Structure 1
Amino acid sequence: MASSVLEDVKEEVTCPICLELMTEPVSTDCGHTFCKLCITSSYVLTEHEQGVKKCPVCRDTYQFENLRPSRHVANIVERLRDMTLTHKADQCDLHGEKLLLFCMTDEKFICWLCEHSQQHRGHYTLLMQEAAQVYWTRLQEVLQKLLKDEKEFEKWNAHIDEERTSWKAGGHTSSGC
C-alpha cells in the first residue's frame, strides 16, 4: 500500500516533458509544473507571440515571464531522491517500472519510460527476449569462428584464464557484476 502511494507521488512530481523527476520545478499560470530547463526549451523551440505560450499539458496560454518556482514540488522531489526505495532487480532504478526493454545503443536494460526519455530518445531498443536472441546469435557466430581457428581459440582461452586469475587475485566475486 505504501509503495503504491509513493509511486503516485512520484508520478505527480515527474516532468511531463522529460519523464524524469523534476529538476528546478516551475509552475505555469494554469498550474502545471515542469522542469525549468524543459519548459524553457519547449518555449524556445516553438513559435510564440509576445511571450504568450501554450502549456504542453492542457494547451492553455501562459506568460513565460510568470513562471514561478514550485518549492513544495522541489522539496518532495528532494525527499524522493534521498529515499532509498527497496526495489526488485527487474525494476528500473529511475522509474521503478519493470525492465522489459534493452537499449542496443547503450547496451543496458531499460523500462518503457526510459525509452521515451531524452537519454534514450532515438536509440535502437528491443524487447529483452529479442535482444537475448540477437546476442545468442552473435555468441554462436563467435564460437563458430573460434572453433574454426584453433590458434585464435587458444589465444582467447588463455586471455579468459588470465582475466579469471586477475579477477580472483583482486578479491572480486562474480556476484558483484
Structure 2
Amino acid sequence: METLRQKLSCPVCPELFTPPVLVLSGAHNFCKQCLEKILLHQNCHHINGLFHCPLCRKVIYLRGRGIVGQLRNSLVETILEKFKYELEKICTQEKRQLTQICEEHGENMNLMCLTDDKPIHAIWKLFGKHEDHNVAKIPEAYNARKKTFIKKLHLVHKKSEEARKETEKLINELTAGVTDTKVMIDTVGMGLLKGIWYRMAELQAKLHHDYSTKLEKLQ
C-alpha cells in the first residue's frame, strides 16, 4: 500500500497528487501548483521560457503556451481518484466496525461473515443464522481485502505504464515519420528547383542565341 502511495505522490510536496496532474516530456508527474512553484523558483516567467525538470534535469521548453501547454496525465488522476476512494472507504469501514455494537445482544461486532459480507458477533455464529457461514476476524478480513485491492491497483498501474510506453513509442514513430517526410519534401523540392533553374538557363541561352542570330541578319 505504501509503495503505491509513493508512486501516486508528487516528488515536490511530497503528498498525494493534487489534480490537475501534469506530465513532463521526461515522463515525470507533478501537481500543477507544484510545477508553478518550480517555474517561479527557476525564474521562468515567460510563456516562451524554459526550465529544468527537478528530477532528471531535462530542459523543458514552454513553446509559447506556458504551463498550460504541458500534458495532463488523466490516467494517473483516474488511478489516484480510485485509490483515494477505496482508501477512504476501507478506513471508514474499519472505524465503524471497531465501534459497532449489536443492539440486541450488546456484543461487539468483531467477526465478518464472508458469506453475507456483513459484520457479526460470536453469538450469531454459534446460535444464529450465520452458523453455517464462513467467518473471519474483521482485521483479517479487511487485511485480505486490502491486499486484493493493492494487487488490482498494481495491475492498473502496470497497464498504465505499458500504455504510456506504447504512447511514447507511437510519438517517437510519428516524430521520425515527420522528419523523414520533411527530408523527402526538401529533397524533392530541391530537385524541382534545380530542374527549373536548368530549364531557365536553357531558355536564356536559346534567347541569347536567337537574339544574336537576328542581330547579325539585320546588320
Per the normalisation by structure 1, the TM-score is 0.42
Q: Which has the larger radius of gyration?
A: 2
Higher RCO structure (Cα 8 Å, ≥6 apart): 1
Per the normalisation by structure 2, the TM-score is 0.35
